[in-house]
Each structure stands twice: as C-alpha cells, then as structure tokens.
Structure 1
Amino acid sequence: MWTFIIIVSVILVLFAIYFMNIGLIRVQLEELAHRHQKGDSQSGDLEEWEYYLGKLFWKPVGTKKAILTYGAHYEDYLTSNYPNYDSSLVSKYKKLKHKEES
C-alpha cells in the first residue's frame, strides 16, 4: 500500500514540475512579447526567443496553445528586427498553424 502511495506521489510531483516548467517558459515569452510591443527590445532577445520557443517545441503535451500564441509574436519580432533571418522555429510554427487551421 505504501509503495503505491509513494509511486503515485512521485508521478504527481513529476507532472507538477513539468507543468511548472511550461508556466515559467510562458512567463518569459510573455515578457519578451511585452518588451517587443513596447519597442523596448534588447540585444539578447533573439537568443531568448529561440531558446524558450525551442523548449516548448520539445515538450510533448500542453504547449500547442502557447506555441500558437507566442509564435505569432516571435514572427512579428523577426520581421520587424531581423527581416533576413532564417529561423527553423518560424517554419515549425507556420506548419503547426497551418495544421490547426485545416
């Protein structure tokens, strides 16, 4: 009986950590989107966008809505600041967006 309780507790803790990690990533992406909308982008923002959106693409569950939300902000950020930058994340975002619209 105790073994079952311990196993269930460990599984619940792992799920909690997983979804807290997604929440923290969303907070960082929200901050980046807010800075871009204010026109207050900084020099390392491109790397941050790539890092946090890349982390969302590697998560198997619970990230589709966040990717669709912040992918649009990232695409807008790239077109306004780095129009010639070729990003694999934008192509992944567009593929997911097209899949959702179909």
Structure 2
Amino acid sequence: MIVVIDYNVGNVKSVCNAFRYIGCEVKLSCEPKTIENAVGIVLPGVAAFGYAVSALGALAELVKEVALSGTPLLGICVGYQMLFDKSSEYGQHNGLGLVC
C-alpha cells in the first residue's frame, strides 16, 4: 500500500484520488506503523517550507528512516522541497537532507 503522509499540509485528498484513479491502494496516515509498512510513501504539501517542516514534526525522522531503508518516496511541491538539506524561503530552515 502507498501511504500519503497526513501532516495537515496540502492537497492530500487530491493526491489520494490520483493514486486510486490509476488503480493503486492508498491510505492517508500519520501513524508510524502504517508508514513503516508502506510499499511507497508520498510527502505532499502546499505551504511555506518552514511551516511544512514544522508541521511534519516528529514524522520527519521516520520519513528519513523509511526512505533510507529503500522504500520509494515521492515528494510533491513543498514535500519535494523538504527532501533537500535546507531552504531560505522566509528565513533559513533545515530540510530532511535526503537530496543534496
């Protein structure tokens, strides 16, 4: 199952609907066990970088761990931007550091 990370930022229903439309099993979740067991994770987002990183909170480390273990990760919009080391949008903010 593909898991769309639910962290109250972005267009999560549209993302889930798009995956369902192409026949994928998808779940919206912020539960660590569900995220750990996903065959793929999606980090959506429509917000400023700093706000999105803050909203992701403790899930940030889990997303990094799961991605580094080999689970495919798709970042959409600010979800993709958060994969980088940092951003200077509205100040300096650290990202997940998965993309250099």
The structure with the largest helix share of the pair is 1
The structure with the largest strand share of the pair is 2
TM interval, shorter chain, is: 0.3 to 0.5
Bigger Rg over Cα: 1
